[in-house]
Amino acid sequence: MVIKCKHKTGKNIGCSPFCNLNNKISFSGDMSSSGNEAEEGSRPAGSTRTLALTVCSAAIGGTFQYGYNISIINAPTSYIQSFINDTYMDRWETPLDIPQVTLVWTLIVSAFSLGGLLGALLAGPMAVRFGRKLSLLLNNSFLLVGAVFVLTCKVARSFEMIILARFLVGINCGVSMNIQPMYFGESAPIHLRGAVAFSSAVFTAFGIFMGQVVGLTELLGSEPLWPYLLVSNALPAFIQLATLPWFPESPRYLLIDRGDKEACVRALGRLRGGKVPVLEMEEMLQEQQMSAALKSGLSAPAKTPWSLFKDRDLRAQLGIVMTASSAMMLCGNDSIYFYASYIFLEAGIPPEKIQYITIGTGASEFIASILSNLLIERVGRRFLLIGGYSLMVCWIVVFTVALTLQSQGVAGMQYLSMACVFAYILSFGLGPAGVTGILPAEIFDQTSRPAAYMVAGSLMWLSLFLMGMLLPFIVNGLGNYCFLPFLVVCLVSAVVLGLTMPETKGKTLAQITAEFDRKKGKAMRVDEPEQHPLGEASSNNTLADNPESDHKTD
């Protein structure tokens, strides 16, 4: 039996499984009219409203928390160190030496990174087991338990509770940093996929900025209020718990992982303003076929990181993700934040005013991320990522020269150093900060995506932990040349990604996979030319021979 179909585009294409789905599933909205709108490029007015609210709800308790919790720990550093010493004095009637206090403080800082590593490893199984949305909701439990530990640490006279709290907050951030971009990438239409996924970086930068503001001494950055500063992260968690349940789950997860076509259609309709685009649904079904996620009604198991490493067909994609994720933390952006206070002090800014100038660094990354969000669907991911690292190489060269001349007493170099601090952060925010999180969602299929995010997240958190441990030694050992190792990281990343990474803007997974195959010298895996609109690729059904025929069976 051959099924023949004529769509309203006037072009004969293979009738996808969605044609049968249309006859079996009822949902709100006219299917044929939504197909016309998708093919003609029109977009319902309400399509972005639900999507935008979903993004805000997921991100406020997701990557916002990562930026916020990195930022708020800086202001109460001296107060927490005093609390550590006072607590130890109460217990043992002897104070800690300065190196010992520093060691405990290092444990508090490192606990966040170690928790993030565990969270990255948990994110993949959680995303598969509970789905993207429910995983984000459950993830708040780690943070709220940590908030209880911080609130009670003074009463319990236990600095160990702060270490445990930061570990739990790290788990929360590790999970959200992986699952949130996955959720966004699977929920957004193809023409907004990059901008929606990049919003994760926007909220991260917004979190850094807000943490710097809340940490001001006039707000919660004073000695009596530092516990409340650390538990202020509970507010975004409560906002997410109150709002995210009202928004839909990822349509791709519902269709490909759970095999629930009706739930997928309902979720897609809500995210697209009440109408389900035919071509987008067809593209999802094509991905389902590519990943073999639904055979005889049974879902294929999701890949593990180990099986991902063993799959030769995915080594190029995995290499790109591993390079970008590692470079994001090893590029020295965090060290610039660390060095900023010294640069501002050398520039003659009064010490009591430095906290206000430091807010400018967070504001710079926030502005850059917003600008990049507007540009990503115009200039593409590859250009922003490689261009960002290339600019960072240039600024490191200028920064190193400025620091060297400044140490020799050359006038005006401190102002050039200040300019380099802001320029470096802007360059990072324009590209690497956001594009890195998008890559696994765009270049891996549904069964490989959770494992890819586990690998990417693990490398990111390991690199962050490594930087936290090595940065003081790099600064003390290399002095004015302490940024040269970061120059090497940025340069190597720009070259490797330039040679291996294809542009993914506006392409389906099939087209992106074909691009990787061409780079490896293989034949294309799909029959469609890249210029064909989404959904015009032939499926397993035979193409119609009669251009005038409607749905009929031979």
Q: Higher pLDDT residue, 29 or 408?
A: 408
pLDDT in the model for residue 68: 93
Half-sphere exposure of 300 (CA within 13 A, CB side): 15
Half-sphere exposure for 137 (CA within 13 Å, toward CB): 15
User: CA 326 → CA 119, 180, 188, 376, 444, distances in Å?
Assistant: 17, 19, 26, 21, 18
Task: Dig out the tokens for 375 from the structure.
Answer: 């540009």
Q: What does the pLDDT read at residue 286?
A: 75
Residue 271, token pair as written in the block: 């995210």
Q: What is the pTM of this model?
A: 0.76
* pLDDT, position 540: 38
Check residue 15 and give its pLDDT. Answer: 42
- State both tokens at 54: 């979903």
> What integer best gives the mean pLDDT of the chain?
79
d(CA 256, CA 262) in angstroms, rounded, equals: 12
DSSP letter for each residue of 480-492: GGTTHHHHHHHHH
First to last CA, the chain: 6
Angle between helices 278-291 and 261-271 (to 10 degrees): 140
pLDDT tens-digit series, residues 472-493:
778 778 888 888 999 999 999 9
At residue 524, the 3 state secondary structure works out as: coil
pLDDT surpassing 80 at residue 442:
yes
Question: How large is the average pLDDT for residues 123-137?
Answer: 92
The string of pLDDT tens digits covering residues 522-536 is: 544 444 444 443 333
The predicted pLDDT at position 31 comes to 40
Q: What is the mean pLDDT of residues 312-328?
A: 91
- Domains of the chain listed by start with CATH number: 46-247 (1.20.1250.20), 306-522 (1.20.1250.20)
300 falls in which pLDDT band (50, 70, 90)?
A: low
What's at 468, amino acid-wise? G
65-114: pLDDT as tens digits: 999 998 898 888 889 989 999 998 888 888 888 888 888 888 888 899 89
Q: How far apart are CA 132 and CA 125, in angstroms?
A: 11
Q: What secondary structure letter does DSSP report for 295?
A: E
- The neighbour count for residue 371, using CB atoms within 10 Å, is 14
Name the more confident of 507 and 116: 116
- Short-list 383, 354, 401, 329, CA closest to 505: 383
Instruction: Classify 546 in phi/psi space as left (phi over 0), alpha (psi -120 to 50) or beta.
Output: beta
* pLDDT tier, 169 (very low <50, low <70, confident <90, very high otherwise): very high
Query: Hunting for tokens 């933390």 — which residue is that?
Result: 329
Position 492 scores a pLDDT of: 95
* Per-residue pLDDT reduced to its tens digit, 233-245: 999 999 999 999 9
pLDDT tens track for 344-388: 776 677 877 888 888 888 888 888 888 887 888 888 888 999 999
Phi first, then psi: give them for residue 357, nearest 5 degrees. Answer: -70, -35
